[in-house]
Structure 1
Amino acid sequence: MSTAGPRTPQTSSSLTVSNRYGTPRRSLSRRAKLALAGGALGVAVVGAGFFALGQNGPQIDTKDVGFAVADAGHMTVDFQVTKDPEATVQCAIKALSDNYAVVGWKVATIGPAGETTAGTTAHRVQLRTESLAVSGGVDSCWAADANS
């Protein structure tokens, strides 16, 4: 017989839980929690700065106006570009087939607008296509390098 006293229900259940799942881990100290919070805040500030600086490029907006399919090998895309009148941008124009495959692609360079102060200009680009296109438009535009 054992000389130890009877086990209390609380001790018995905590032993069962410890045996089944292991001993509970200690929580982080207050100093460790503050260090983790400070590190997360630092990463957030750096990330926000990165995205804010990435958005400082020139504002370029496009609007698809229309397209015309001449035949299975050619199409024309009409679009407008709104940009700084003195900026040079490049726009990727694409033609799509009925199953949304790209069947034509061309990069158009749009230079400064000259004497006009209006930022929106209209453009027409002719594309060669490898099969019949059913749609066309601007895929994306970006600021052109000064060396381009």
Structure 2
Amino acid sequence: MPVSEPIGPTESDSALADRYGPARRKPSRTAQKWAIIAALAAAVAVVAWFTVNLTSETLDYEDVGYTIESDTRASVEYEVTKDFDATAQCMLHVLDDSYAVVGSRIVTIGPHEGTTADERSQYFRSDLRTEHLGVTGIVESCWLLD
């Protein structure tokens, strides 16, 4: 003869409920659907915001090369890509063999003429004075001015 289990709550279930509180109820199907819809809407809004923000004003920069001319002079060659009417500033550094900054300069890059996307990029060469012999020249960072 099979042994049957009680269908309702048992004494051990009520003891657990007294100790830990009643069992949690799952959200209804409707609540789950609305939560998923809200999460998707929020994700679409975030992607749209990033897309608009990234395309409104762009600024890219890249080191192209450097020349160490002497113990007190160096030059840095770099490419800056920005909107035609934007003004940017870049921080250039000359570093020694222990990565210490031995020369630094901020350069301003103003608006320029152009019509195509390829003309947004410009190449520059800037001279820097150094305190000691450098071994490399880099563009540390660039930013847009208001």
* Structure-1-length-normalised TM-score: 0.63
Please say if 1:123 is aligned against 2:94: no
- Aligned partner of residue 76 in structure 1, secondary structure: strand
State the alpha-carbon separation in 2 of the partners of residues 94 and 14 from structure 1: 75
Q: Across the two proteins, how many residue pairs are aligned to each other?
A: 138
State the alpha-carbon separation in 2 of the partners of residues 37 and 101 from structure 1: 52
- Aligned partner of residue 24 in structure 2, secondary structure: coil
Partner of 1:108: 107
Identity, in percent, stands at 38
Partner of 1:97: 96
C-alpha deviation, 1:85, in angstroms: 4.3
Q: Which runs of 5+ in 2 are unaligned?
A: none
The 5 Å alignment of 1:1-148 reads 8=5, 15=12, 19=16, 22=20, 24-69=23-68, 70-71=70-71, 73-114=72-113, 118-129=119-130, 131-145=132-146
C-alpha deviation, 1:51, in angstroms: 0.9
CA 1:98/1:43 → structure 2, altered by over 3 Å: closer, same or farther? farther
CA 1:30/1:100 → structure 2, altered by over 3 Å: closer, same or farther? farther
State the alpha-carbon separation in 1 of the partners of residues 64 and 85 from structure 2: 23
